[in-house]
Every structure is written in C-alpha cells, then in structure tokens.
Chains A and B, each alone.
Chain A
Amino acid sequence: MPASEAVAAARARLEKAGSELRRRPATEILAMLGRVLEGWSNPDSAWRRELAGRLPAHTGFSAATVHKGLAVGLEHWRGSALEAIVKREIGDPGRLDATGPAVITGFDHTVCILAGSIPMPTIQALLLPLALRSPVLAKSASRDDLTARALAQSLAEIDPLLGRCVEVVDFDSSNEEASARLLESPCIVAMGSDATLARLREKVRPHQRWVGYGHRLSVAIKTARVSNDAWAERMALDIALWDQSGCLSPAAIYAVGDSREADETAASLAKALEAAETNWPRGRVTTATATAIRIERDEARVRQAAGRDVHVLGADDSAWTVVREDSANWRASPLHRFIRVHPIANTKDCTAALRPLGPHLAAVALDGLEDEAPGFVQELAALGASRIVPAGRMQAPPFDWHHDGQPLLLPLARFCDRE
C-alpha cells in the first residue's frame, strides 16, 4: 500500500478508536498509562528486554550502552510522574472529564513525527497525547522503527483500546504525498533538526496546533571543590550514554578555576572515559564520523604545536577523546564521545561564554558551585537552560521535566471556558 494511503487508513482507524477512548473516564486512562510506565521502568519487563535486545542492531549503539541508557533513563518514569504532570498543568484529573468551568480536551488525534534513535523521547511523546485521550499517529524515526511499535504493543497488552489508539507509519521524509497527508492533522508534534522543523512548519496552517522540539545541546560546569575522579566517573556516564548524541548529552565542559584545574579535569575525564569504554563500549560509527573525530583531534594538535595550551587525550582508535582547550570559546564537536574541556576563570565568565549557546541550551550539569548556585542558576535559566542537574544525572530526565522549557500537556490541549 502506498505510504499516503497507509497514513489515511491509519487515521481512519484512529478516528474510530479515538471516539471509544473519549468515552472512557480520563482517570481510568491515566491509571492505564501509569501501568504502562511502571512496566517500562521495570528492567525485567518483557517489553524492556525485547527493545533492549533489538535496538543495538538497528541503531548502532552497543548492547551495554542501550541497557545502561534504558536503566538510567527510565528508572523514575512512573505513573505518579504522569499524574504529577496532570496536576501541575491541568489540576484535578477530573477536569479532563469536562465537569468543571473549563472543558479541556485533546485533539481528535495527534501526529508525532519522531526523530533520532534514543527511546525515551519517543515513549514520552506518544504517551502525553493519550493522557488527554487523543489517539496518536506516529511517523517513526528513520533510525528507530522499533520503539514506537514496542510502546504500542505494551499499551495493547495493558489495554487493547489504548493499543488501537497508537498507529505507526514509516516512510521516507522525501515522500511529499505521504508527508502532506500526515500534516493534515489538527495537532502536530515534531522532533528534529532546526532545518527539518522549519521545513515542516512551513506546511502547517494557522488553525493547526504545532509543537516543535528542535535539536539542542547540554554542557557541564564544575569547580575544584568537587573531587575530580568522582565527578569524572559520573560525567563519563553522561557522555557515554547514547554515545553523546542526545540533546541532554554534554557537548562541552567548563572547568572553573586556574589552568591546572582544566588539566586535572581533562586527565580525570580521560581515565573515566577509558573505563567507560570497557563497561559501555561505544557503538559503531560511520567513516564520516571517524573522519570528523580525526580531523578535530589533529586540528587541536596543530594548535598545540603552534604553542597554545591545548592537548589531546584519546583512545588509539576514535572511541573517546578529551581535548583540553585553552579558551572558553565554543567549538563544534563531532560527538560520539568527543568532549572539550574549557578553562574558565569564574561563573561570570561562564555566563558570558554560554550566552551565544543560550538559544540551544538544554541541560547544564552543575557541580561544586553551591555557594554561587542560586544566582548562577537564575542566570543559566535566563540564558535558556531548562534543566540543572549534578553530573551523572544528565541522561535521567524526570518524566515531568519541562522538555525544552515548555509545559508538556498544555500545548497538546484545547480549552473551552464556561462563563
């Protein structure tokens, strides 16, 4: 069946399932979704085991990285977290049953255009519309056609109707006809690069709801007040998980203090990344990625040869790299466990260095800055950071984290106020 027809057929099935779903009490649906989340957070669940078993071959991540990434990422994803989001953004869940002064509903259905191959954003993106009783039409990511279907299967096992409320379609993004059909939906949630989002956004009309999650980056800031080795061990986990490819993966480290602090931070981190490679080996990389890593390493070596205080620590192959830079200036990173350590004198300079990154910031791992923290955290939030965490927790966003600084349910909801 052509992809555009598959989209139309899926939408027709969702219309039917959606009308049944909206006849069920919202609290009942939330309870069912909570059970699904509990299942996913359980490392022994068959769903988790199956997804963890199949993801490495599809995505290129190593099996150990996938297992650890799911364990860290899903550890606290419980039904209570979903309830907390509802309470925070809607109030009493009963309000979803249209008994209060405002009628709050989800859309007839919600389209989710997925991206990347990290499972957690997919799981969350599909569950949130369901919490508003809006069935979901998902276009799976080109690099992960497993997670959305695995979630749909888990929903079906808990509640067959919920299972019928998620439809997954696959087609190449260049398929204009299928894309156009997909974008006819009243509510569109899209993930992807800025270019992808811009291209999609152009095709969405004003009466449609648009929720975009673009690509972002995260950074870490530490001082000499924390033990380098202990901090490095936790930071190495943040870098190693998902091979540093997520928006919550640290792309740069700012070592607050003198030049020696940056040296010691880089050395400790190198040791920890070497150990991480043993525990959670990096996945396969393309020739293009390996080339980018080699080029960045060698450019740093040339800067060092030119007399700058730069040095490179790395595995014999491209498995991990630490570049100790000599300034706070941002440099793009090829990722895949390639991290730069920048020396920085104080938090004021840190704010200045991060300012150009502000629009792209997601998380900041902050360690050893307890005294300055309140004011500094406010500055980071003002720059654009949406999560401040200690090292080691970057890849464990709570289910109710304000993804990209936005409410989670409100953008997916329609309100009708009764006067």
Chain B
Amino acid sequence: MSEPAERSRLDKALLTWMRETDWARDEERFRKLALEVFEFQFEHCPAYARFCQARGVSPEKIDAWEEIPPVPTGSFKEVRLACFPEIRTRKIFRTSGTSSERRGELHLDSLELYETSLEASLHHSVFPDLGDGKRMTLRTLAPDTREAPDSSLSHMFQRALEVFGDSSSGFDVLNGQLQVDTLFTALDEACRTRSPIALCGTTFAFVHALDALENRDPPRFDLPPGSRVMETGGYKGRSREVPREDLVAQIGERLGIQPSHVLNQYGMTELGSQFYDTQFRQPERPSRKIAPPWTRVRVVDPSRGVDCAEGEPGMIVILDLANVGSVSAIETADLGRQVEDGFEILGRQAGAEERGCSIAADLMLGAMERS
C-alpha cells in the first residue's frame, strides 16, 4: 500500500477511536493498531528506522507494543522526525526556548488527528458536562495563536475555545503580559450571573493572576460552583515557583474553585495527545493522570528498560498513536510513578543528586547547546 493510502487507513482507524466516548481500555485493539503505526513509521521515517535497526528492532521482529523503541523528546531538536515529505508540512509546533537555542519541532501534515485527540481529552477530562451545543465562558491565560503561532499550547487553547467556549470567551495574555483588567471583568461577570467559568492557562500565568489579585479590593472572587481551572506547562522560570498543593489552595481561597476542579494537564509539544488529572470525574479515587485509549504511558526503570512496579519511581515513556505522522514512542526526562490505572508525574528534579562541585550537568551555554 502506498504511503498516503496506508496513512489514510491509519488516520481513519484512529479518528474513529478518538470519536468514541467510551474510554474503556481495549488492549488488543491498541496492540494491533500500535504495531501497524510502528510499521508505517519504520517504513517512512528513515532516521527512526535506522535508530530501531541499531537496536535490533524491526516490525517483523516484535509482537508487543512495549517493544517499540522510544526516542527522547530532545530528538525533535536534532532531527526532522516525520513520515511525510517536507513539502507536505502544514504546521510546525515548536518547543519553548530562547532565540539562541535550537527548539524541538513537531511537523504535521494535517491537524485533524491532533485536534480530534485534544478535543476528545478535553471533553472527557475537563468539560465532561459540556457538548451537544452546551458551552461555557472560557478565559485563557496564555497568548493567542496570532501572538504564538508555533505554540502547541496556544493552538490547543484556541481549539478549546472554539469547541467549548461561549461568546464571552477569549485570551487574557497580550504581548506576553497578563491582561488583568479583562480577566477580572470576566470573573466579575461570572460571579454576578452565577455562571460557571473555566480558566485555562500556563501554571506561571496563574501565579501572576493570583499575585495581581493581591492588589484588588476585595482580593478574591467567589466563582460559582462548576467553575474550573486547567493549568499546564509548569513555571519555566517565568514566575516564582509555588508548590502545587499551595497553588490549588490559593486558587480555592482566592477564586472559590474547589480542589477537585483544579486540573493539571501533562503534555508536550512533541506529542499529539495530552493527559489530564482524573479528579474532576472521579473525586473519590486517588488523583492520577489518565491516558486516552489511543495512548499508553509506561513508568520504566531507566537502567534496565523494564516497567517499574506500581508506586515505584521511573522514567515516563509514552506511546501516542496520535503521532502517526511522526514517531509515536517517546521517552521523556520526566519521572513518574504508576497509580492504579493511571500515573503521577514526579517532576524532573525528584531524586536529583549533587554529590560534587561539577557544573557540567547544568551547563547549557545557550547557543552552543544543540547548535
């Protein structure tokens, strides 16, 4: 089968799956589709094929999705990992970074899978009470896609706004600055009309918003029940760092949003899918992140490459079939642990050790790095 035909067949199978609302795990369906996607990527992404061959792996030699070799997220800074010719590239999402750094790039020849995946996850985890034409006000604490055209995060927020937002929805970051007045006006309106509001944005933007609230009289809003927060992306040195439990507590105290409605999203530019906290849907069960049915998240012992026991820390390795046009198996620098049927992120620094006085592990040297 030709590359476009095979790709079309895989896309169709994935889109069908993503549009199903039942998120029950189907191991055989995943295994079969994952191996087909791997075979496709092996055939059409030469660098990835050579990477796999060097590890002694090829499609005919494996029959379990766990055997598909993952590439590190940093590889997307080094190599164009795509299964289609450059001329077909329609969109490039880039990782954040300074102008002197080489940034990771996810090349897409279509946004259909990407958007269908993100919409399905948002609907399942953040807006399960919306749909069928029901919308809510959604304010976004991040720049819009005109200001950040290569940001996957801005694209996601834009799409969320189009699908789930009402006419009062919009972006509250302009030229990199949080627009406190428009944000607070929207929050006032939500309080006045007792209409739930959703606030989505980067974690550091929420810190800026809470700091700005200090100067307001009174320094709090009592948002109506059903209001919610979706934060993602961490701090990246853009604000003071606040432990998550403190952030959740402050959001509760200052905005009146209960902890079960403050959801963290784990995602990255290199992936077509995202992972959300479960407590909005399942407040009675341990907090964890859940993988959409077309993805798998493993917690792996980095030295031996085998799965860690539940609760043990390990490196997060993801197989995301929404990445069908790129590489689906990704290993991250994040540590995590398995919690029941989901996982928890422990961050990159957990367990970091500093035995000596060498700076070599930290020294990036701007333009030299990855140049």
What residues make up the interface of A, taking CB atoms closer than 8 Å to B? Answer: 59-61, 115-118, 121, 143, 191-194, 213-218, 242-247, 249, 251-252, 285-295, 298-299, 301-307, 317-318, 329-335, 356-357, 360
- Expressed in whole angstroms, the Cα–Cα distance for A291 and B347 within the complex equals 12
Closest to B299 in A: A287
Q: A378 to chain B: closest CB distance in Å?
A: 23
Q: Is B1 an interface residue (CB 8 A)?
A: no
What 8 A-B pairs are tightest by C-beta distance, nearest first? Answer: A245-B356, A251-B360, A286-B351, A305-B51, A305-B50, A215-B359, A302-B75, A290-B302
Are A191 and B357 also in contact (CB < 8 A) when A290-B303, A302-B78, A356-B368 are? yes
Q: Which residues of A contact B313 (CB under 8 A)?
A: 287
- Contact of B132 with A by CB under 8 A: no
**CB interface residues, B 68-107, toward A, < 8 Å:** 70-72, 74-75, 78-79
Report yes or no: B71 in contact with A246, Cβ–Cβ below 8 A. no
With contact pairs A287-B315, A318-B303 given, residues A298 and B331 touching in the complex (Cβ less than 8 Å): yes
Given contacts A301-B54, A302-B78, contact A292 B357 (CB under 8 A): no
Does B355 interact with chain A (Cβ within 8 Å)? yes
Most chain A C-beta atoms within 10 Å of own C-beta, residue among B55, B314, B350, B358? B358
- Minimum distance in angstroms from B68 CB to a CB of chain A: 13
Nearest CB in chain B to that of A142: its residue: B354
Contact of B355 among A61, A287, A306, A333 (CB under 8 A): A61
- A291-B360 contact, Cβ under 8 Å, with A302-B47, A305-B50: no
Contact B333 A289 (CB under 8 A): no
Whether B302 and A302, one on each chain, are in contact in the complex, defined by CB atoms closer than 8 angstroms, is no
Chain B: interface residue total (CB-CB under 8 A): 46
Hey, which chain A residues are within 8 Å of B349, CB to CB? 288
B363 within 8 A of A: yes
Q: Which chain A residues lie closer than 8 Å to B335 at the CB level?
A: 287-288, 291
Do A306 and B357 touch (CB < 8 A)? no
Q: B362 near A: Cβ within 8 Å?
A: yes
Give the shortest distance, in Å, between B319 (CB) and chain A (any CB): 15
* Docked CA distance A59–B353 (Å): 10
* C-alpha gap A118/B348 in the complex (Å): 25
Report chain A residues within 8 Å CB of B303.
Answer: 290, 294, 317-318
Give the Cβ gap from B325 to chain A, nearest Cβ, in Å. Answer: 18
Chain B positions within 8 Å of A215 at CB level: 357-359, 362
Q: B355 contacts which chain A residues (CB < 8 A)?
A: 59-61, 116-118, 143, 242-243, 245
Contact call A294/B315, Cβ cutoff below 8 A:
yes
- Are B359 and A193 closer than 8 Å at their CB atoms? yes
* Cβ–Cβ contact A288 & B47, under 8 A: no
Chain B facing A: main interface SS: loop
Residues of B within 8 Å of A329, CB to CB, are 368-369, 371
Known: A302-B72, A318-B303. A288 touches B353 (CB 8 A): yes
For B364, the chain A residues whose CB sits under 8 A away are: 332
Chain B residues with a Cβ under 8 A of chain A: 47-51, 54-55, 70-72, 74-75, 78-79, 301-304, 313-315, 331, 333, 335, 348-365, 368-371
In the complex, the answer to whether A193 meets B356 with C-beta atoms within 8 Å is no
| B363 lies within 8 A of A115 (CB) | no
Measured CA separation A220–B101 after assembly (Å): 26
In the complex, what's the smallest C-beta–C-beta distance from A32 to chain B, in angstroms? 28
CA distance A301 to B75 in the complex (A): 9
A305 in contact with B361 (CB, 8 Å): no
Contact A301 B51 (CB under 8 A): yes
A216 pairs with B348, CB closer than 8 A:
no
- A115-B357, A287-B315, A332-B361 known; A318+B50 contact, CB < 8 A: no
Give min CB distance, B305 to chain A, whole Å.
8
**Nearest chain B CB to A146's CB is how many angstroms away?**
13
B315 touches A117 (CB 8 A): no
Q: Report B272 CB to chain A, min CB distance, Å.
A: 19
Contact B356 A292 (CB under 8 A): no
Chain A's closest residue to B364 (CB) is: A332
Known A287-B314, A306-B79, A317-B304; contact A143-B358, beta-carbon cutoff 8 A: no
Contact status A216-B357, CB under 8 Å:
yes
23 pairs across A/B with beta carbons < 8 Å?
A118-B355, A194-B359, A215-B358, A216-B358, A245-B358, A246-B358, A247-B356, A251-B360, A286-B353, A295-B74, A298-B75, A299-B74, A299-B75, A301-B55, A302-B51, A302-B71, A302-B79, A304-B50, A305-B50, A305-B79, A306-B47, A330-B365, A330-B368
Chain A residue, CB-CB nearest to B347? A288
Contacting residues, chain B, for A304 (C-beta < 8 A): 50-51, 54
Cα–Cα distance between A357 and B358 once the two chains are bound (Å): 13
Let me know if A288 and B352 touch, CB within 8 A: yes
Our pick among B79, B331, B350 for the contact of A288 (Cβ within 8 Å) is B350
